[in-house]
Amino acid sequence: MSDYRNVIVLGAGAVGSYIGAQLNKHANVTLVGRRAHVDEINEKGLRVSGIVEDCAKVNAITRLETVPSNCLLIITTKAYDLVEAVESTYHLYHDDTTILLLQNGLGNEEIVRKITGPNTEVVRALASMGVEYLNSGYIGVKYTGETILPDTNTGRRIAQLFTSCGLCIHLSNRMNIEIWRKLVMNCVINPLTAVFRVPNDEIISDTLKDVREGIVDECIRVAEKEGVVFDSDLIGVITDAAAKYRNYSSMCQDVIKGKRTEIEFLNGKISELGRKHGVATPVNDTVSAMIRFLEEKS
């Protein structure tokens, strides 16, 4: 059993709420989210439907005012909200607070440490799951894959809690490559599903083959300039992952709801790094522009 007795999920949307509900089996969990979501959870519990059916009784609040000692603070906000989330709460942290970042993006750990100081325990995790926000206090689960954690002492402590609550964990000693692999996958699946407003599996079409491969090729060349070399067939991995599930990506859901997307932290980041290293990224530039246009029109 893990020694984390207290867990706070900051930015509890679909994924954060689901993970929090699972961890509540063996820890004291508090979800921090939006008013309507919080009110519904406190009144009726967190309803979960799909491959997992549940109504979890979990504490939920709209504002974080205290952090207990020896707490696992899981941040599941959108990447663009990370700075505000940490700046508004870090004065509550203790020396033994562990921050777990469950987000898209590159360099998130460094962003946090610039605010909190270099000695803060910050851990990155990558989750593979299809979870949708259906309504306030109500989420749908299409599939649950594994969560990747670093194979470190802290990573193993977190893994103990996750596995004790039924979550599938993979410990990796190559987290930087894992983060980049997830980034490339998101650069393909998220914008294409969002532009065409289709489930993940529908972008595996011969019509879009050149677009998919163009995105991946540019990502690989940029990654190499950043010192990252992939050891697997990314095209095949991404094709298999997208074809397996009919869930709607988070970016597709954001576009449908007229919300801001994370495009600047995905394809936009590849374009930014491409300019830094003198690597042309026309396909990533184009899909980024298309998503920005959809954001402007919403």
Quote the mean pLDDT of the chain: 95
Q: What is the mean pLDDT of residues 107-124?
A: 94
Tokens 């607070």 correspond to: 97
The model's pTM is 0.95
- Asked whether residue 1 is domain-assigned, the answer is no
pLDDT tens figures, 130-149: 899 999 999 999 989 899 99
* Residue 50 parent element (H or E): strand 46-50
Do 165 and 202 lie in one domain? The reply is no
Q: At 70, phi and psi to the nearest 5?
A: 50, 50
Return the structure tokens found at 216. 């991946």
In a domain, 196, yes or no: yes
Query: Does residue 200 share a domain with residue 132?
Result: no
Q: Side chain identity at 254, as an amino acid letter?
A: D
Domain that holds residue 140: 6-173
| Contact partners, residue 228, CB within 8 Å, separation at least 6 | 176, 177, 180
Task: Give mean pLDDT, residues 175-198.
Answer: 97
Task: Mark residue 70 as left, alpha or beta (left: phi above 0; alpha: psi -120 to 50; beta: remaining).
Answer: left
pLDDT digits (tens, 9 = 90+) for 225-260: 999 999 888 999 999 989 888 889 999 999 999 999
Kindly state the average pLDDT of the residues 272-294.
99
Confidence band, pLDDT 50/70/90 cuts, at residue 2? low
289 lies in some domain = yes
Q: Give the per-residue pLDDT at 74.
A: 99
Question: Which of 155, 173, 191 lies at the terminal end of a domain, its last residue?
Answer: 173
Query: Residue 89: which pLDDT band, with cuts at 50, 70 and 90?
Result: very high
Residues of the chain with pLDDT > 70: what percent?
99
